[in-house]
Each structure stands twice: as C-alpha cells, then as structure tokens.
Structure 1
Amino acid sequence: MAKVTSQDLGHQPIGKLLIKQAVPASIGILVMSLNILVDTIFVGNWIGSVAIAAINVVLPVSFFIAALGMAIGIGGSSIISRALGADNRKKALTTFGNQITLTLLLTVALVIPGLLFVDSIIPAFGGKGAIFGPAKVYYVIVLYGIPFLALCMMGNTVIRAEGKPKFAMYAMMIPSIGNLVLDYILIRIFDFGMHGAAWATTGSYLLCLAFILWFFLSKNSELKITDCFYKLNFPIIKEIGSLGFVTLSRQAVVSVTYLLMNNILFDFGGETSVTAYAIVGRMLMFALFPVYGITQGFLPIAGYNYGAENYSRVRESIMTAIKYAALLAGIVFVFLMIFPEAITSLFTQDQAVLVETPPAMRWVFAATPIIAIQLIGAAYFQAIGKATPALLLTLLRQGLFFIPLIFILPHFYGELGVWIAFPVSDILATIVTAYFLHREVTLNLLPKESESY
C-alpha cells in the first residue's frame, strides 16, 4: 500500500484515498475487536460464563477513563488535521504537546478514586451476586494500566491525523496480538484465572505505548515529541475540550448504558441475561469493524479539506464514505441474521445463554443497514470542528433515544422491550442525522449561485 502523507489528503482521488485510510483503520479495528472477541471466548471457555459477565461490568468504568485519551486525541486531531491543511505546523505541535499533558493529568486523577471506591463502583455497574468477586479482581488490575491505554488511544488518533494510517493500524494490532498471547500463557498454561486475564490486558497496553513512543521519536512522524510544546495553552485546551467532549460524552453515555442494561437485565434474568448482553456487546464491537474503519478513514480527509477550504472534496468524501459504509453494514446485517446461534456457541456452552442470546442479537442488529448515515454524519461535524452539532448527533442514539426506550418498552414487552430499543433508537437517530447533514451540505458546502458563473 502506497505511503500517505498529510498533503495527499488534499490531492488524491477521494475514493482511492478513503480506501487507503479506511483499510488500515479497519484492519486495526478488526484486530482489536478480534482481541476482545477471542479474549471473551478464552475467558468463557477457560474460566466460566460468569467471568464474561464480570468483564462486561468492568469495561464501562475502565473504558470511560481511557476514553479521556480518545476524546483528547480526536479533539486535538481535528485541530491538527486542519492546522496541517492550513500549513500551520506550530499550532499542530502545540496541540499535540497539550494532548499528552492533558491525558496524563486527567486519567491519573480519575484512576485514584476509581481504585479507592472499587467496592461501591462494581455493584453499581451490575457486578452483583456471583459476578462481584471476579469483577473486582479484573477491575483493580486493569485500572493500573488505564493511563497507558489512554495515551495509546490519544496517540493513535494523532498518527491517523498525520496521514499515516498503516502505523495507526500497527498501534492497534500490537496490543491485541500481545493480549491474546498473554491470555494463553497466563490463563491456559499457568491457570491464573481472572488474575491472568487482567494482567494480560494491562501488559498489552504497555506494548502499545512502547510502539507509539517509538513512532513519535522516529523519522516516520511529522510531529516529534521532542519538538512539542507541553505547557498548557488555554485557547488550544478549550478547542480540544469542545471537540473532545463529543467523544467523551459518547463514552459517558455508553458507560451509563452498560450500567443501566446490566442492572435491568440482571433484574429480568440474573447472570444469564447479563452474559447474553456481554456476548451481544462483543459483537457490536467486532461485527461493525469495517463501518467504523470507514468512519475513522473519513475523519482526516474531511478535516484536512475543510481546513484547506476545498469544499467540493469535502462533499465527495461524505457521499463516498456513506456509500462504502452502507454497503459494508448491509453485509454485516445479512451475516448476523443468519448465524447468531453459531456465533453464540463460540463463547459458551451454557444452555440458558445459548437460548437467550441469538434472538437478542437479531433485534440488536436489526437496523444495521442504515447506520452509515448516522455514523458519518456525526463524524463530519466533529472533523470540521463544529462541536455542538457533533455532540448532539453523537448523543442522539444512546443518550436521547435508547436510554428512555429501555425504561419505556419493557413495561409493554418485558425483557424483549430492552432488545427492541436498539433498532428503534437507530432508526430515529438516523432520520435526525440525515436531516442535519443535508442541511449542512446545502448551506455551507455547495457553491453559492454567484460563484457558479
């Protein structure tokens, strides 16, 4: 695959460029998702089905703290892409330096209380009954590594903003492969159980951080760590915060969703329902990897060309990204409608889980073919630095529609209402996103009538 630089984002054909950006991003997300998927399979088969539920309880807490790094990374990377497009190297370096400082300060500040109040946090997120013990073991060990994960997530988005998608792919592959190897050694060979699963995860974060540090110290990067400005620059922080708040809010809503779903489903069906949700959740992370790859590949292209005021390329990138993502989402939909039973059997042989999970999976993915508009539309506003519409569109599905629905629909349909809430919220969010995206393109990206002569 040919090398892509930041300048190429403004000149190469959009379709070809999107593939160059999206394929490495998709492969990276695939490997990372496979890591989560296979890790869950290992845990389910080598430790037990309750261990799957335990990890699902811990994920929203650890991922929310780590998402600070992703939020700072995506918010800053939007600035970096536009700064590189406008040939403002100093602003790009200042932004990157501030990203590093902010990530370290904020994640460490959250990890400390996260460890102090562990006995209250785990039950609040659904870690009750038999789930509590293994969840606590996993939570404490993984939380030690969360600042490293946050730095990795931040650095990965900056690598992609530079137009280096292959290196961003490597940064996602290394910890994933490392985690699987460590899983086998620590769980299968040494029989360390949940301790082994947790240390394998934390060790994988360190491997990723080592690679990212190497990248930014090497000649491969345009933004050298040694050239950065680490002293906090408040105008930059404000811009990073306004854009990064979109990502952080999304992850906060995801964490709240996990909290609510684990508790609601525990009340309906105990550990079995929580485990079913954990398996479906893994498929949500894994199955849509090519769609998320298109979204990640689209971000720097839209941001760079918007910064360069090349609006025709921005329009083309939106339409191309939606077409590619919709095609891939349709393929995923067909696969999951046909094979949910076979997929579930990979995770566990628990008969109750095998019965409950497949119909839940079909409902959760029922609206998959239309989500491309929702994902690309929200990503567009974030890429061009319009924080408010990006935030609103990002929170539409889970925050404004899904959470109210999981309280309303179960009154009419019981546990089935929880699963029905997924496609209903997808449909509603897509309709609203399509309206705002069409309005934005019409008002700001089409040439004015006076300019067409």
Structure 2
Amino acid sequence: FMLQNVFQSFFVTAEKPKLGLMVIVAAGLTNMVLDYVFIAVLGFGLKGAAIATVCGECVGGLLPLAYFGRHNKSPLKLGKTHFYGKVLIRTCSNGLSELMTNLSSSIVNSLYNLQLMKFAGENGVAAYGTIMYVNFIFVAIFIGYSIGSAPIISYHYGAQNHDELKNLFRKSLTLICIWAFALFVLAQFLAAPVSKLFVGYDRSLYEMTVMGFRIYCFVFLINGCNIFGSSFFTALNNGPISAAISFLRTLVFQLSAVLLLPMILGINGIWSSVAAAELLTLCVTITFFIRKRNYYHYA
C-alpha cells in the first residue's frame, strides 16, 4: 500500500503519469476480479476478500518497483543510496499536511456519526454514508490534480523558473474554479437520482438524503482551492503552512462547525458544517497565498 502511493508521485516526476494510471487501474481490476473469483466462485468468504485486496496492492506496489529497479525510459532509476538524516526529516516535516488530513478524517467522521445519531438516528447515518460515496468521487478530482501538479510545481520552483511557476499557479486556480462550479451544478442535478439509487427503498430516508446532499454540495465550490493550496505549499517545501491549512480544514474548523451549527440549525447544521469549515479555511489559504507570493515568486 505504501509503495503504491509513493510510486504514484515517482511516476509523475519521471514524466510517466499515464503509466502510473495504468498501474492503479490494473491494481483495482485485480482486486475486483479476484473478489469475484475468491468469494463467488471459490466460496472463501471474508478471507477471499482480504486475499483479493492484498493481491491488488501487490500489483500496485510491486510492478513500479520492478519498473524503476531496472533501466527504463524515464529519468529515474532505483540504485544504491546512503542514510540522509536531514533529508528524511525534511521529507517527514513536509508531509505533515497529509498526516493531519488522514488522522483528522477518522476523528471527524466519528463525530459526524455521533451527531447524526443524536439528531436524526440511523437514517441520518445512512444518508451521510450515501453523500460520502459521491463526495469521494468529486473530491478525487481536486486531489488528483493537486498531487499530479505538485512535482511540476516543485521542479519549476527548484529551477527558479518564476515565470512558469506564475503560469502554473494562475492556470491551476482558474481550472479549479471552473471545476468547482461544474461539480456544484452536477451535484445538484445528481442529488435525487443518486439518492434514489442508494436509499430509494425508504421514502423518508430518500428525502433526507436529497436535502442533505443539496446542502452539502456547496462544499464543492470551496474545497478545491484549499486542497490545492495545501498541496501547493507542500510542493514548495513549506510543510508547516501546508500542515496548518490541512489541520484547520480537516480538524479544527470541522470539529467546531459540527458541534456548534447543529445547535442552531439542527440536522441542516450538520449538512452545512463541512462547507462552513471549508469557507473558514479558504480565508486562511488566501491569506497565505497573498503573504507568500513575493517570497516564492508565483504571483
């Protein structure tokens, strides 16, 4: 799992993003096919699902290892190395934002479920689960672009290509704003059919999910800039700022919003809490963009 994630960044840096995509798709298809074989055909049950998952991760992690371990057509190749303590420490500190994002999501999701059980019972948790399925797909667009553009930003920053860095920054924000509006409109149209697909068996649950989805999707207008902002400062080797954006976005503001807004708006406060947290984070992200623009020469 760790190799699969790390090598995706290597593929982009090595100018082989399509090969990285092929590896991820191959890993996912391996998992899907073996799920069917081990569970439906061979009757292994839960153990079969576990084995299929491991096989998929092996494809995603070991194929790149074989590719970079030999001579290839990319600029990168694995070779002998030494222990570089300072580099390792800087790398870990630069990844603080990703650490905070993953740690915070577990805490926040647990609190959301508790609040939903309190204000809406099991139906609230079921509706939230449906919304999260679609949210993961939409947010993946912002995350994918941010991760994919990070090595390019790092390269031009390190090479002091200030004009190209400015160009990347400007075009990235333009693209993200266009996607944000498009995803928001798409989410509004998809609210009813997606809710019917997952929870159409229960009328009251369906209506709750549609209402929650249409309130929640305002987050797509905002979160793209925050996701890119965190990744952007990571690419510029400024881990503390990146971590601050992620920490405020995924933990501090979301915890505050999900605890306070339901007291005022009831269950609608839960659906709108993520958008409120993202809006507060956007103010912080814009502040960092403005304050650091002359230091890094991206604007």
Give, in whole Å, the separation in 2 of the partners of 1:308 and 1:410.
49
Residue number in structure 2 paired with 1:425: 277
What does residue range 302-317 of structure 1 map to in structure 2 within 5 Å? 302-317=153-168
**CA 1:417–1:192: 2 relative to 1, 3 Å:** farther
Query: Displacement of 1:440 after TM fit?
Result: 1.4
Could you tell me how far apart the structure 2 residues matched to 1:253 and 1:427 are?
Answer: 18
What code does the residue aligned with 1:323 have?
T
Aligned-partner residue type, residue 210 of structure 1: L
For residue 309 of structure 1, give the secondary structure of its aligned residue in structure 2: coil
CA contact (8 A) 1:315 1:441 kept: no
User: 1:173 deviation in Å?
Assistant: 1.2
1:185 aligns with 2:29: no
How has the CA–CA distance of structure 1 residues 182 and 361 changed in structure 2, closer, same or farther, with 3 Å as cutoff?
A: farther
2:97 paired with 1:224: no
Secondary structure of 1:409's aligned partner: helix
Alignment correspondent of 2:188: 337
Which range is displaced more, 150-159 or 377-386?
150-159
Closer, same or farther in 2 for the Cα pair 1:446/1:203, shift >3 Å? closer
**AA matched with 1:421:** S
Structure 2 CA distance for aligned equivalents of residues 190 and 268 of structure 1: 43
The answer on whether the counterparts of 1:215 and 1:221 sit within 8 Å (CA) in structure 2 is no
Supply the AA of the counterpart residue of 1:174.
Answer: A
Q: Quote how far apart the aligned CAs of 1:349 are.
A: 4.5
- Structure-1 separation of matches of 2:293 and 2:87: 27
Q: 1:366 aligns to what?
A: 218
Structure 2 residue runs of 5 or longer lacking an equivalent are none
Residue of structure 1 equivalent to 2:109: 258
TM-score (norm 1): 0.61
Q: 2:23 aligns with which of 150, 171, 178?
A: 171
The 8 Å contact of residues 2 and 61 in structure 2, kept in 1 or not, is answered as: no
Which is bigger in relative contact order (C-alpha 8 A, separation at least 6)? 1
Measure, in 1, the Cα distance between the counterparts of 2:8 and 2:182: 28
- Cα distance in structure 1, aligned partners of 2:38 and 2:211: 34
Deviation digits for residues 380-422 of structure 1 (CA, Å, limit 9, x no counterpart) = 1110101111111122222221111111112222222111101
2 CA distance for matches of 1:385 and 1:355? 46
Question: CA offset at residue 270 of structure 1?
Answer: 4.0
Give the CA deviation at 1:443. Answer: 4.2
Q: Does 1:387 align with 2:239?
A: yes
1:209 aligns with 2:61: yes
Q: State yes or no: 1:435 paired with 2:283.
A: no
Match for 1:233 among 75, 81, 84?
84
**Structure 1 CA distance for aligned equivalents of residues 174 and 58 of structure 2:** 37
TM-score with structure 2 length normalisation? 0.89
User: Deviation string for 1:286-333 (max 9, x for gaps)?
Assistant: 123333332123211110010011112111101101111221222111
CA offsets, 1:221-268, max 9 Å, x none? 43333x142x54211111111111221111111121122223332344
Query: Which residue of structure 2 aligns with residue 158 of structure 1?
Result: 10
Equivalent of 1:404, from 242, 246, 256?
A: 256
Q: In the alignment, residue 158 of structure 2 is paired with which amino acid?
A: G
Q: 1:359 to 1:178 in 2, by over 3 A?
A: farther
Partner deviation per Cα, 1:327-364 (whole Å, 9 max, x = no partner): 12221111111121211233354415433322222222
For the 8 Å contact 1:330–1:369, the answer to whether it is kept is yes
The 1:362/1:294 distance shift into structure 2, 3 A limit, reads same
Which residue does 1:282 correspond to in 2? Answer: 133
Supply the distance in 1 between the matched residues of 2:267 and 2:143 (Cα, whole angstroms). Answer: 29
Counterpart of 1:169 in structure 2: which amino acid? L
Cα separation, 2, equivalents of 1:189 and 1:423: 44
Deviations 1:37-95 (A, max 9, x none): xxxxxxxxxxxxxxxxxxxxxxxxxxxxxxxxxxxxxxxxxxxxxxxxxxxxxxxxxxx
Q: Structure 2 vs 1, CA of residues 269 and 384 (structure 1 numbering), >3 Å: closer, same or farther?
A: same
1:299 maps to amino acid: A
User: SS of the residue aligned with 1:380?
Assistant: helix
Q: Which amino acid aligns with 1:154?
A: V
Task: Give the Cα separation in 2 of the matches to 1:175 and 1:362.
Answer: 34
Give the stretch that moved more between structures: 194-203 or 241-250.
194-203
CA distance in 2: counterparts of 1:346 and 1:195, whole angstroms: 29
Change (3 A) 1:390 1:210: same
RMSD: 2.3
Count of matched residue pairs: 297
Residue pair 1:159, 1:165 contacting (<8 A) in 2 also: yes
Q: Is the 8 A contact 1:246 1:390 kept in 2?
A: yes
Query: Displacement, 1:433?
Result: 0.7
- Distance in 1 of aligned mates of 2:273 and 2:265: 11
For the structure 1 residues 168 and 385, does the alpha-carbon distance in structure 2 shift closer, same or farther, using more than 3 Å as the test?
same
Give the C-alpha shift of residue 194 in structure 1: 4.8
Q: 1:262 to 1:212 in 2, by over 3 A?
A: farther
Specify the alignment match of 2:144 in structure 1: 293
Quick one: distance in 1 between partners of 2:45 and 2:170? 48
Tell me, what secondary structure is at the counterpart of 2:237?
coil
